[in-house]
Amino acid sequence: KHLAGFSTPGFQHAIVKLKRKADLEQACDGYYHLSGRADLALTVQRRILPSFGFPASRAGVLEMVLHCTKFLEDEEIAKLWDDINSKLGMTHEACRRFRESATGFKGSDRPREAVDGAVVDCLEGLEGSMCIK
């Protein structure tokens, strides 16, 4: 559902506009960080997250990310993860970096606050890909 929602012409047009406004550092980094992406992605995620049992909020996005990281070793899931991030404007290399970063959080048994803090610190700036600020 995320892939379909992020693939619509209107959403893709909005991503192109964000990329045009991006600074050189964001562009050179493969749009791993892209200002405005979090708010834009949340317009789609708010409609989808509740159908999977997650809150329709940035916190729900984080819960979904943490849940999905458990399955990133599956090639099909990893490809879908990358395809979604590609639709969010990331280059192939940025998608790979995000997946590798997110994989480090799977199965964490640390307290929730520590997990959230670590994920937010590590993935800050992806702004809507599959995380929150």
Give the pLDDT mean for 11-20.
Answer: 95
- What's the angle, vertex CA 119, arms to CA 55 and CA 20, rounded to 5? 85
Is the entire prediction scored with pTM above 0.95?
no
| pLDDT of res. 112 | 43
The answer for residues whose C-beta is within 8 angstroms of residue 126's C-beta and 6 or more apart is 32, 33, 34, 37, 38, 98
| pLDDT of res. 14 | 96
Supply the angle between the helices 58-68 and 37-48 in degrees, to the nearest 10. Answer: 80
Give the DSSP H or E segment for 94: helix 92-103
| pLDDT of res. 105 | 65
Share of the chain residues as helix, strand and coil, in percent rounded to the nearest 5: 70, 0, 30
> Whole-angstrom Cα distance, residue 32 to residue 27?
8
Nearest partner of 42 among 14, 66, 68, 81, judged by Cα:
14
Q: What tens digit of pLDDT does each residue of 83-123 get?
A: 999 999 999 999 888 888 887 765 554 434 433 344 443 44
Q: What tens digit of pLDDT does each residue of 41-99 get?
A: 999 999 999 999 999 998 898 888 888 888 888 999 999 989 999 999 999 999 888 88
Taking CA atoms, 131 is separated from 5, 18, 115, in Å, by 17, 18, 12
Assign 126 a pLDDT band (cuts: 50, 70, 90). very low
| pLDDT of res. 20 | 92
